[in-house]
Amino acid sequence: MASGASVEQNMQKAAEYRAAVAQRGVKNLINGEWVDGAAEFTTSSPIDNSLICRVAEGDAADIDRAAQAAWEAFPAWAALKAKTRRDILYRFAELIEENAERISLLESLDTGQPIRFMSKAALRGAANFRFFADRVEGARDGLSLPADDHLNYTIRQPIGPVGVITPWNTPFMLSTWKIAPALAAGCTVVHKPAELSPVTAQILSELGLAAGLPPGVLNLVNGFGETAGKALTEHPHIKAIAFVGETVTGSLIMQQGAPTLKRVHFELGGKNPVIVFADADLDRALDAAIFMKYSLNGERCTSSSRLLVEEPIYDEFVEKLAARVEKIRVGHPLDPATEVGPLIDPGHLAKVQSYVDLAEEEGAVKAFGGGQPAGLESGNYIRPTFVTQATAEMRIAQEEIFGPYLIAIPFEGEEEALKIANGVKYGLTAYIWTRDVARALKMAHEVEAGMVWVNSQNVRHLPTPFGGVKSSGIGRDGGDYSFDFYMETKNISIALGDHPISRLGAS
């Protein structure tokens, strides 16, 4: 496995996988056939912006063919015996595990994410399939709701073909997080991956076919958001859209889907607070705050991008944090020692750097970071950035930056911490560090976030609900919450006897 391999071994294996991808390119999968798109675009590696391969560029006609295939495949897939569907999804998980090295190395090459994190991405993807495969047999379960004269009971049925639209940051894992429950529920899928990192989506579809998914059950159409993505959200055969990406895109998708009354599930941006009180275990809080911002290149929706520190410990805490940030190892993502790799593309690098410049313009203090590390100028590398003495209303404290960039804001007491924490448009996660249980509970209840961790970093448990409030999203994933999205609940009411029926026109 890539995680135990040296940088040389990773590079050699990655070069082999890359050569194979370069030769074939990334295709679309429609109705079980690998096909070219109407045109082509390319994907490049953030390591040096060199070409990885050509990618089929789907347009509205390709989306139409894929949606039609998903529509035709739906009745048989939905009617399949639960055990058969479960077995296919288990096989899918096994194949992901067997291909974990290829997936991890290509994901690192295509996204710039360090291999130390990506080596687990494929395994987490497989775990998602296993988790939902285990629940296939119960997915249709409903409630028994007896009334005086009727027995009511509910069942759940798959909603139909769904569209899955994913972002570029950790594409493989996020795609499985959406596609596994959709397939388990009995839906068919058209997947539109992000144009900036499309390589591993092709492997996912390839493994789905090999696992025995019938043609049309999982379709893949690559392309741009404004064309292929838009057409998917507008297609009348597509009953729901599961979307992960930026808040503004979510808003556009809602508009695009309105004429066909799409059900939508949105996992959007964040500006998540980590709130450290003076009574916390400060060493653990420090480790968690650093991990939650600088892992995955900071290109992580649940990252703790605002560090709120109680006044009495502020100076000491930020000083220790700055010393650690300075030592974070920036480098080639295939090097197992690398902690932060290159950002997805030059445009995103320029965006993150613009916030480094803005920090000083707004009057905050740059403790460390910004600019390109020496020797790494040919890729989209930036030095991890830590900004102190920020205030809540600054743009650097309000806007999602989505890079290895943390700001620190001092606060006095619970009320001020809550005011700052809740004073942004986002509400995805919050992290609270204190040894005072009553305070932890009060803060957890009052902070505006879909998910709260107390004395912890983001540790996922698949049955728990995942999602945000405010501009961070609509709906929840995880466990049964995912089935609620991909399925319709139907109520069936059966008369228990001769209850009264009004006899209109009878006299």
- Interface residues toward ligand NAD, by CB under 6 A: 165-169, 174, 192, 194-195, 224-226, 229-230, 233, 244-246, 249, 252-253, 256, 267-270, 301, 400, 402, 428, 468, 473
Residue 503: Cβ-neighbour burial (10 angstroms; 0-12, 13-18, 19+)? exposed
Run of H or E including 492:
strand 487-495
Phi/psi of residue 125, each to 5°?
Answer: -65, -45
Q: Which is nearer to ligand NAD, 179 or 244 (CB)?
A: 244
Residue 302's CB is within 10 A of a number of other CB atoms, namely 22
Give the separation between CA 308 and CA 59, rounded to whole angstroms: 45
| Dist. CA 300–CA 402, nearest whole Å | 7
Q: What pairs with residue 387 in β-bridges?
A: 366, 407
Distance CA 454, CA 476 (A): 20
- Min dist CB 183 to ligand NAD, Å, is 19
Burial of 498 (0-12, 13-18, 19+ CB in 10 A): exposed
Q: Which is nearer to ligand NAD, 55 or 428 (CB)?
A: 428
* CB of 35 vs ligand NAD, minimal distance in Å: 19
Query: CB 373 → ligand NAD: shortest distance, Å?
Result: 23
Between 102 and 230, name the residue whose CB sits nearer to ligand NAD: 230
The alpha carbon dihedral of 395, 398, 399, 403 has a sign of: positive
Give the nearest distance from C-beta 306 to ligand NAD in angstroms.
14
Alpha-carbon distance 357 to 380, whole Å? 17
Give residue number: closest CB to ligand NAD. 225
Cβ 446 to ligand NAD shortest distance, Å: 21
Residue (310 or 400) nearer to ligand NAD, CB: 400
For residue 284, CA distances in Å to 316, 328, 376, 442 come to: 15, 17, 31, 21
User: CB of residue 451 vs ligand NAD: minimum separation in angstroms?
Assistant: 10
d(CA 228, CA 197): 15
Q: Which is nearer to ligand NAD, 251 or 493 (CB)?
A: 251
Q: Do 197 and 110 contact (CB within 8 A), yes or no?
A: yes
Question: Could you tell me where the DSSP H helices lie in 80-155?
Answer: 82-98, 100-111, 115-118, 121-133
- Marked catalytic residue, from 107, 234, 301, 339: 301
Q: Any catalytic annotation for residue 187?
A: no
Would residue 301 show up in a list of annotated catalytic residues for this protein? yes
* Min dist. Cβ of residue 207 to ligand NAD (A): 20
Write down the number of H helices and E strands in the chain.
17, 22
Nearer to ligand NAD, 174 or 421 (CB): 174
- Provide the CA 332 distance to its chain's centre, in angstroms: 23
Assess contact for 228 and 58: CB atoms under 8 A. Answer: yes
Q: Which is nearer to ligand NAD, 379 or 468 (CB)?
A: 468
Q: Looking at beta carbons only, is 166 or 457 nearer to ligand NAD?
A: 166
- What residue type is 364 in one-letter code? A
Determine which one of 107, 195, 234, 267 is catalytic: 267
Catalogue the E-assigned strands of 268-350: 272-276, 304-310
In angstroms, give the least distance from the CB of 163 to ligand NAD: 9
Looking at the Cβ atoms of 397 and 428, the one nearer to ligand NAD is: 428
Minimum distance of ligand NAD from residue 230's CB (angstroms): 4
Single out the residue of 304, 320, 285, 316 nearest to residue 429, CA to CA: 304
3-state DSSP helix/strand/coil percent for the chain, to nearest 5?
A: 45, 20, 35
Q: Which residues are catalytic?
A: 267, 301
